[in-house]
Amino acid sequence: MPDPGSPVARGLLAELAKEEAALMDAYRDLRDVQVKYDIAARRFAAIRDAVATYVEGNPYAKDVVWPLNEGSLAQPGFRGRFRFARMNVLDAVEWALGESDKPLAVIDIAVILADGGLPVTPRAVNASLLQAKRVERLTRGDGEVMYRLRESEVDPADLPF
């Protein structure tokens, strides 16, 4: 075994100590950025939910017209990157299905949610679909199961009286 007190070993240990300190600094920076992101995501979700209540639905739906300012992230190419952030999976699934012109498979829904800021597994999507009252299950001729949002109809169980 090499001598841990040799000049080479001491030099290597000193380099290791520097790298460990640099890694600790990077870890603190990462933690600070995670806190900043979490606060921003919570604020975004609160505003998104308030807008959804006001417009009575998904503010990212095709029929919702956003005001556009020069260089705004509200431009259609940028809009919605985080639209599902901090959202209940079932609500996000229903929004994703409502945004689609065609029925979607579970894996497609999971990809849309992840692309919209809510990384979930297909299993989580499937579990939420089992609880969904507004979602219709379709089986194609080849046996593939697809889902779509039901046409708007009032469920008597949802009425407040």
Residue 95: partners with Cβ closer than 8 Å, 6 or more residues away = 58, 60, 83, 84, 87
- Cα dihedral value 49, 53, 55, 61, nearest 10: 50
The secondary structure of the chain in percent helix, strand, coil, rounded to multiples of 5, reads 50, 5, 40
Can you give the pTM of this predicted structure?
Answer: 0.75
Over its length of 161 residues, how does the chain's per-residue pLDDT go in tens digits? 778 889 999 999 999 999 999 999 999 999 999 999 999 999 999 999 999 999 999 998 888 887 766 555 555 556 788 999 999 999 999 999 999 999 999 999 999 999 999 999 999 999 999 999 999 999 988 989 999 998 765 555 666 65
Q: What is the set of domains in the chain, with CATH numbers?
A: 89-158 (1.10.10.10)
